[in-house]
Amino acid sequence: MRLTTAVAAVVITATAALAIGTVPPVPARADPAYCDNPDCVPGIRPGVVLGATCGDTAYFVFGTTSWGRLVFCGSPRRYEPRYFRSPSMAGIRKLDSDCAGFLNQVAQAPDGLFLSCVVAGGSGRWVRGDM
């Protein structure tokens, strides 16, 4: 009986705290558009089969195989798009920003655009990965 009363009191107190807004909010990240590894990149499709056909080579192109390998949807020489092994992924980055230290890696822009780090104009830049 005492346990039931104690549990009920906790539930009522928590419900009241939520109702009047006294429960502190979950802290937000300083920059929700930044992440530095694949674990925090949104839209990565699980259960992809390496070599299987895919649709979009520009946005949200990344997936993982059943064994955890990172893959991306690409269309070499403009053939039908397929999933290929992905180069190392740098997480989320902004289009046309500096990519020093990430040469030949890939990333995803905050809007889902596929990015690749290449040398352009003498410096490393994040450019569209589907071109």
Residues of the domain holding 113: 31-128
Query: Does residue 26 lie in a domain region?
Result: no
Number of domains, the chain: 1
In a domain, 62, yes or no: yes
pLDDT in tens, 67-110: 999 999 999 877 899 999 999 999 999 999 999 999 999 999 99
pLDDT recorded at residue 128: 96
Residue 122 above 70 pLDDT? yes
Is residue 1, in this structure, part of any structural domain at all?
Answer: no
Cα separations in angstroms, 85 against 49, 96, 106, 108, 128: 10, 24, 12, 16, 18
The answer as to whether 23 is a domain residue is no
Determine the pLDDT at residue 6.
36
Which amino acid makes up residue 27?
Answer: P
Does residue 39 belong to any structural domain of this protein?
yes
Asked whether residue 36 is assigned to any structural domain, the reply reads yes
**Burial level of 91, CB count in 10 A (0-12/13-18/19+)?**
middle
* Residue 101 belongs to a domain: yes
pLDDT digits (tens, 9 = 90+) for 8-67: 333 333 333 333 444 333 333 445 556 888 889 999 999 999 999 999 999 999 999 999
Which helix or strand (DSSP H or E) is residue 11 part of? helix 2-20
pLDDT at 33: 56
> Does residue 20 belong to any structural domain of this protein?
no
